[in-house]
Structure 1
Amino acid sequence: SLGSFIGGISTAWTSVVGQDLQQPNNSMSIEPISDYEASWIVAFTPIGMMTTMLFLGSNMCELFGRKKTALIHAFINIVVWLMRYLTTDLNVLLIAQLLHGASDGIAALVIPLYITEISSDSIRGSLGSLYMFGIKSGYFAGFTLVAVAPIKLSAGYMIILPVALLVGLLLIPESPLYSIRNNRIDEAG
């Protein structure tokens, strides 16, 4: 799943950005940060994820549908990578980290749900494993990317993936189960 792959890359990027930002003349042109500030860069992601999953996640899937919720996930990722690429301010980066967590929280709910609802019993398990495969392969790709490209430049490259995700999501149908539950039988086809 491209959505979980993006989440994996984002997590890998997060794990190394603190080290980069502690250096004078770092690639993001942010004033060097302390260990304490670096820890908050990492901590803001799970805070955003937990908050979203507790208060918004499942409600979003039912209120907006699986497709629109996935589109929100993609849009948030575009915003996150743009913020990371364009910022020279630690506070903006921290907000991006909260949004990254929120996006991961949405993905953790909507991706497995959509896969379950569109797949037949015979392939559901295989398709379901794509979510975790996406995360782990995203980790690998993210660590590889930041090893060969500066942190800021890698953030610029990453804008491409959520844009591709957004375009791809525009092409898929809504979950048939969600359509039936909302009396849109003709869309459930």
Structure 2
Amino acid sequence: MPGADGSDGGPEVTGHTVLLVPVPELEPFVRARTEHYDLDYVSADPRFVHAHVTALAPFLAPDDLDADALDRVSEIASATMAFDFRLEEVSVFPNGIVHLLPEPRGPFEALTDRLWRAFPRCPPYAGEFGSVVPHLTLDALSDSVTRGSTRDLVSSHLPAHCRADRLDLAWYSPGDCRILHSWPLAR
């Protein structure tokens, strides 16, 4: 029986799904930063790569992840050629997120565009930003974190020569970050 708020009384879903391109080359750095800031988002799933470039988020709610939706993602992944990219430029968004910019950006932009067209009710970042900039999040500005301090910390990992060869569907929830599905990109 629904509660006074209209809910069915079941557990509230506190997470969200993300379609992402894992970047294992930066995993040691990003995982360490995640451990430093928020252990609730450190995954025990050995397939989960904390370092990633988001392709589309937030994605569908768990109840909407049916076979048709997963087949559409599979088709897009299998039609997307795997590609090489480089990470070296440290930048900062106006909201203080310190990140790396992949070069070239075009393959990431094209992947996000294809996914968004296939799932128009899932605009990138819930439509919060006018344009989507592919990036790999490193840190956030604070009294002790600057662009320069982050660049110094990550410098031993740069430049990173990377290959985008798969698309993962990840679940993000405190204490329960994991991979739900994974699709190889075309070879």
State the TM bucket, normalised to the shorter chain: under 0.3
Q: TM-score normalised to the size of structure 1?
A: 0.28
Higher helix share: 1
Higher strand share: 2
Q: TM-score normalised to the size of structure 2?
A: 0.28
